[in-house]
Amino acid sequence: MTRRIPLNDLVRQSRLIHDELAACARRVIERGWYVLGSECVDFETEFAAYCGVAHCIGVANGTDAIELALRAAGIAEGDAVATVANAGFYASTAIHAIGAVPVYVDVTAETHSICVDSLKQALARQSVKAVIVTHLYGRLADVGAVVALCKPLGIPVLEDCAQAHGASRGGRKAGSFASAGCFSFYPTKNLGALGDGGAIVTNDARLSATLRRLRNGGQTDRYHHQEPGVNSRLDEMQAAILRERLARLGGWTARRRELATRYRRRLRGRSLDPVPEIDSGHVYHLFVVRVRRNDEGRQPGDAGRRALQAHLASRGIETLIHYPVPIPEQPAFAAAQPAGCPVALQVCHEILSLPLRPGMHDDDVDAIADAVNAFDS
């Protein structure tokens, strides 16, 4: 029987702390308060401290986190918002939700994250009102350089931290560099709920107060609405689960780094390269490899990737592509002005994510690496 190694295994992960999660659920049920109660308040306090910021505002999901952060920053219909072309779809979804216009900028070949030179060109071409910096795969983009570029121009910068819970550089964690950091707690994230959830972190007290109103219908207090808002609140059950898991995030991150180190030691294939680590603050939400062209440069990376993916699937190893289609090429944005992002386009055609999660065993990584190496032999 072929051994199966899934990309994610949420059943095993929850089973490891089943009793603790059950206790969280009982605590919420017995209290009988399910929205904007003490669990949410305590999680917000604990997660703000974890990120090294003053404020955390729990919301319903990561997309709402970005949308509300844009609104709180004053972004309105028709405003241009710069973001990368090779990340998940949801920053663009948030931009469109408020009637703003996405401006796609390219990424660097080494990091797959925002290219500051490409951003400079975008800022020179048009009046950009905000920038979203996406931290991909679990490592920080060059957010410091983006903030340094944008701050003198009065352009707010938001961090999309959906894949970067706890990622750090120079002693500072994701979410603490820019005007605000936006997190998703989707179940597969490094810090995941048992459903949807999100949060915004910031050091700006005025921004925090605005966000607290916006997430709750624009209310200053019950039945008094200062501005139009939305209904986007982190519920008590998910907050309780997240508090329990946050206490374990450091250990889970350490295990992700151990597995990544083992991958890098074991992978010897000629046709692929693991995406570089860059620095020790990488938290490895994903372990991504880039499938190269053949020696003559004639075979597109996508063809080689499909062949490798099929080879691994035949051995019970599940993989996934994060993300195969550049956002400007999505049918939903067919009417948008196309973006010149050649590096992002190439990246989308060459990357592949191998399984990496805290519950994996060393011999899982060994089996995957052996299968990859056999593909090249």
- Of 153 and 295, which is predicted with more confidence? 153
Could you tell me what percent of the chain has a pLDDT over 70?
A: 95
Among 213, 246, 279, residue at a domain's last position: 246
Is 87 a domain residue? yes
State the Cα–Cα distance between residues 132 and 143, nearest whole angstrom.
10
Q: Are residues 173 and 307 in the same domain?
A: no
Residue of 143, 156, 181 whose CA lies nearest to 65: 181
Q: Are residues 242 and 278 in the same domain?
A: no
Q: Are residues 73 and 180 in the same domain?
A: yes
Q: Are residues 173 and 312 in the same domain?
A: no
Is 3 a domain residue? no
What pLDDT does residue 301 have?
Answer: 65
What pLDDT does residue 66 have?
Answer: 98
CATH code for the domain in which residue 236 is found: 3.40.640.10
Q: Are residues 210 and 337 in the same domain?
A: no
Q: Are residues 294 and 362 in the same domain?
A: yes
Is 370 a domain residue? yes
Could you tell me what percent of the chain has a pLDDT over 90?
A: 87
CATH code for the domain in which residue 314 is found: 3.90.1150.10
What pLDDT does residue 332 have?
Answer: 86
* Tally of residues, the chain: 377
State the Cα–Cα distance between residues 296 and 137, nearest whole angstrom.
30
Among 204, 226, 246, residue at a domain's last position: 246
Mean pLDDT of 162-170: 98
Is 1 a domain residue? no
**Torsion sign across C-alpha atoms 286, 70, 119, 79:** positive
What pLDDT does residue 339 have?
Answer: 66
What pLDDT does residue 338 have?
Answer: 60
Q: Are residues 307 and 231 in the same domain?
A: no
Q: Are residues 292 and 345 in the same domain?
A: yes
For residue range 221-247, list pLDDT tens digits in order: 999 999 999 999 999 999 999 999 999
Q: Are residues 230 and 353 in the same domain?
A: no
Whole-number average pLDDT of the chain: 94
Where residue 335 falls among pLDDT bands split at 50, 70, 90? low
Q: Are residues 238 and 149 in the same domain?
A: yes
Which domain does 293 fall in, by range? 249-376
Residue of 3, 95, 28, 70 whose CA lies nearest to 244: 28
Is 4 a domain residue? no
Whole-prediction pTM: 0.96
Q: Are residues 267 and 233 in the same domain?
A: no
Among 212, 246, 280, residue at a domain's last position: 246
Mean pLDDT of 88-116: 95
For residue range 18-36, list pLDDT tens digits in order: 999 999 999 999 999 999 9
Token pair 């190269």 in the structure block, residue: 292
Is 301 a domain residue? yes
The span from the first CA to the last CA of the chain, in angstroms, equals 24
Is 282 a domain residue? yes
Our count of domains for the chain comes to 2
Is 116 a domain residue? yes
Q: Are residues 92 and 202 in the same domain?
A: yes
For helices 301-313 and 342-350, angle between their N-to-C axes, nearest 10 degrees: 20
What pLDDT does residue 292 have?
Answer: 78
